[in-house]
Structure formats: C-alpha cells, structure tokens
Amino acid sequence: MQLARLINNRYYFDYNATSPLAESVINWFPNGDLLFANPSSIHSSGKKSKRYINDTKRFLNETFKMPSGYKVFFHSGATEGINSLIKGFAQKTFADGERIHFVHSCVDHSCVYNLRAELELYGHEVSTFGVDENGDYDIEEVITLLKKSKKPTLLNFTWVNNESGVVWNLDDLTRIKEETNCFIHVDSVQSIGKIEEWNKLNFAADAYTFSGHKFGAMKGVGFSFIREDFPFCSMMRGGGQQEGMRSGTENTNGIYSLKLALEEIISHQDYERLFTAKKSIEDSISNVLSSEARIVSTKAKKRNGNTIYLILPGRKADVLITAFDLAKMDVSSGSACSSGAILPSRVLLSMGITEEDAKSALRFSFSYSLTLEEAAEYSEKITSILKRFS
C-alpha cells in the first residue's frame, strides 16, 4: 500500500482534496483491456463494455445494500451529480407549475452553496441553517426551516464535512422525513473509507451522491443513488443513456475503476486502526502547538477518522503550506484560493472563527489505510515543521 502514500518522494496528506489511484486500478491498466468500445453498440466489444457497467451497478447495489425502488446512475463526479439532482428537482417541479423550497447548511460544499443565487433567480425559495462552534447542526432548527414553506421542499444534508471532518448523524434523517415529508439528498462524497459503516445508508433519504476520485477511482467519474419516485428532470439531453437520467456515452473505464477501488477499501480497511493512528498524530501535534493554536471541532458529536484541521493564530496559511511543501509534504489550507491569495474558509467563519484566524488554517487528511507505524513517521515530520511556527 506504500504507493498510495509516498508519491514522487513526497508525503501526501491531502486525501480530502483527492486521492491517488488505488493500486488495483493502476494494476488493471497494463493489461491493455481498456474497454474502449461504446457500451451502446450491439457488437461484441460494445456488449463487453456494457457488461462491465452492469457488473459495477450490481456491485454498488450490493455494497450499499440498496433496496428495491432506487436506481444508480453515473456522472462525472460530485459537482455534476449534485447539480443534476438539485437543479433537476427544481426543473421538474417548475415544469409541474410550482417553485421549490431548497434547504441547505452554511457549511455545504461550494457546489451546493453556490446554487443559491441561480435558484432564487428563477423564483425558488432558499433557506440556510447554521452550525455551532463545533460544526454540529440543531435538528430543531432544520425541521423548523423545512416546515416554513408549503412548496415542494428539498434538503441537502452533508454527511461528512470536507474541511472539518465533522460527521452528521444519518439517523436524524428518519425523524426529519417523518415530521416534514421533505425530499432529502445526502452529499456522501467524503464518507467512503473515512468513517465507520460508510456503506450503511439511511433510506429515509431520496438520493445519495459519491465521487470516485475521493477514494482511489479515476477522476471524472461518480455515481448517485436516486429513489425512483424522486421528482427529477435530467439536465443532460442526448441519446437517452442510463434510462434518460444522464445522456452521453458512459465512461466505462472510470465506472469500472469505482468497483476496483471500493473492493480494495473493503478488503483492507480497519477503521479502528485508522482512528487510532490519526489520534496518535493529533496528540503529537497538540503537544507542540502554542496555547493560542487549536484543533478544530474536537468537541463535535462525531468526527471522521482521517482529518485534522488546525488553527495557528498569527500565521498565514500560504506560508505554512510553503514550509511543508519545501519539506516534501503536501497539505491544504482547507480554504479557497483566488489570485494567489488564501481566502478565509466559509466553513470556519460559519463556526464562529474570526476571519484572521480562518486565514491561518491548515488541514491534514490521510489515507484510509493509515497505520500506526506510518502515523509515528508522519508525526515526526509534521511536528518538525509546526515547531518552527509555535
């Protein structure tokens, strides 16, 4: 598994941004059987491509224990998948003569958050719920927001936050569904390999979206589960592939890489090992931090097993990232970059952290297969840099 960690003689600690290809995916390429044929073609090569797609569909349904009444469709990743489901819901509802009420959180990914203006432009209602200083939400606030409108309502629920690593409770969706009867989409992009029982879904939700490059599959491919009766109008017009849910020639190689990467995670993951290894790195970091510095969301109800998010007051994220970069370690600020300037993270600001402190954020995110031996090595390397800024 070392290939997934030491790349070009560098240490990669940015798995929430993207992950290296799984070894099983890399090892599949040299065989030369790259499933080039169009899966809609009726010749033997086309049928072979179609078979690989159908095999992957069956595998996904089995892995996530999907009940009848749900379909899976493939797309280019989370941004397309989430846009398609939210805008497809709005467009179908609009075609039926109504506007929607869209409810989301202040810490959602930008592909959700930045849909607000477009939805409002077309007359849809948008409501945003907040989080506390730990990144947790108040279910009573969410239910109140969902009930405030009589319009068809869609809730976007982020299972695992990509910056803070805070995990929200899927079980809450049962109560939300029972009390509001809203439609629910779950952003599941950061779940696979990073939390316990990532394949145990709550079917009170109507849709789930995943992105392959977050767990070792190829970039440019993802998948969504969608309930068959979910109001949805496809945003992609064309040949009607995937039962009309997403037209366009399927990315057969990418789709099959989903299966390969997930099989590797299932066969190697040990969440207790991951959590313990991450905790040992976190403890080592805590020991060298100044009294003003802190790790974000340590008091959250639940956190994932691979993410450590630091605030280092008085330091600049770009300076910190450069110091790690020169030491051959790839880390992230967890915030957006524009014109070379580190902008304060919207997630951190939403949690009550000041703009100045938010500009000093540093995020480490590790592989699902992190071991205690690696954690000891990484701790030494990470703390050697942090000591210079404490």
Question: CA geometry: angle at 279 spanning 274 and 281, to 5°?
Answer: 100
Assign a CATH topology to domain 2-20+270-389: Aspartate Aminotransferase, domain 1 (3.90.1150)
On whether the CB atoms of residues 238 and 248 are closer than 8 A, the answer is: yes
Residue showing tokens 């590790």: 366
3-state secondary structure of 217: coil
pLDDT at 335: 60
Start and end residues for every CATH 3.40.640.10 domain found in the chain: 24-266
Q: Is the pLDDT of residue 169 over 90?
A: yes
The structure tokens listed for 116 are: 């607000």
pLDDT in tens, 327-347: 999 999 976 554 455 789 999
Determine the average pLDDT of the residues in 138-142: 99
Residue type, 256: Y
pLDDT in tens, 215-226: 999 999 999 999
Give the confidence band of 33 by pLDDT, cuts at 50, 70, 90: confident
3-state secondary structure of 383: helix
CA distance 200 to 320: 38
Determine the average pLDDT of the residues in 346-358: 97
pLDDT in tens, 270-280: 999 999 999 99
Window from 114-123, 229-238, 249-258 with minimum mean pLDDT: 229-238
pLDDT at 337: 52
Window from 233-237, 262-266, 319-323 with minimum mean pLDDT: 233-237
Start and end residues for every CATH 3.90.1150.10 domain found in the chain: 2-20+270-389
Report the percent of the chain where pLDDT is more than 90.
Answer: 91
CA distance 328 to 338: 24
Determine the average pLDDT of the residues in 21-44: 91
Question: Smallest Cα–Cα separation from 85: which of 223, 254, 192?
Answer: 223
> Is residue 17 packed enough to be buried (19+ CB in 10 Å), middle (13-18) or exposed (0-12)?
middle
Within 8 A by CB and 6+ apart from 27, the residues are none
In this predicted model, which residue has the larger pLDDT, 19 or 247? 19
pLDDT at 336: 54
pLDDT at 6: 63
Residue showing tokens 């902008």: 343
The DSSP bridge pattern shows strands 153-158 and 125-129 to be unpaired
Average pLDDT, the chain: 95
Largest CA distance in the chain: 68
Cα separation values, 33 from 52, 54, 187, 253, Å: 12, 17, 33, 10
Assign a CATH topology to domain 24-266: Aspartate Aminotransferase; domain 2 (3.40.640)
Torsion of CA 263, 242, 82, 71, to 10 degrees: -70
On whether the CB atoms of residues 205 and 173 are closer than 8 A, the answer is: yes
3-state secondary structure of 118: helix
3-state secondary structure of 43: coil
3-state secondary structure of 376: helix
